[in-house]
Amino acid sequence: MERITTEMPINDLLAKHPSAVRVFLAHGLHCFGCAAAVSENIGQGAKAHGLSDEQVAKLIDEINEVVEEDEKAGQ
């Protein structure tokens, strides 16, 4: 399984794993619709929207859970 980190560009993540959008929404992030998503990574986007280091870590953990579910389902 590919481990998602804060360094992954937002657009790359969502192109590979569109279901991760629900994690962004659950954290109040609408990065997928932002023009900055082209150049920002997940950590930058989360920090720009005021998430703490702990919240960013939780976001990454939840994204990785979704990615793992997708890969198990063959998506």
pLDDT in tens, 11-59: 999 999 999 999 999 999 887 677 777 789 999 999 999 999 999 999 9
Mean pLDDT of the chain: 90
Q: Over 90: is that where the pLDDT of 7 sits?
A: yes
- The 3-state DSSP composition of the chain as helix, strand, coil percent (nearest 5) reads 65, 5, 30
Which residue ranges make up each domain of the chain?
Answer: 10-72
Is the alpha carbon torsion for 47, 62, 19, 29 positive or negative?
negative
Residue pair 43/63 in contact by the 8 Å Cβ criterion: no
Write down the pLDDT at residue 10.
Answer: 93
Q: What are phi and psi of 2, to 5 degrees?
A: -75, 125
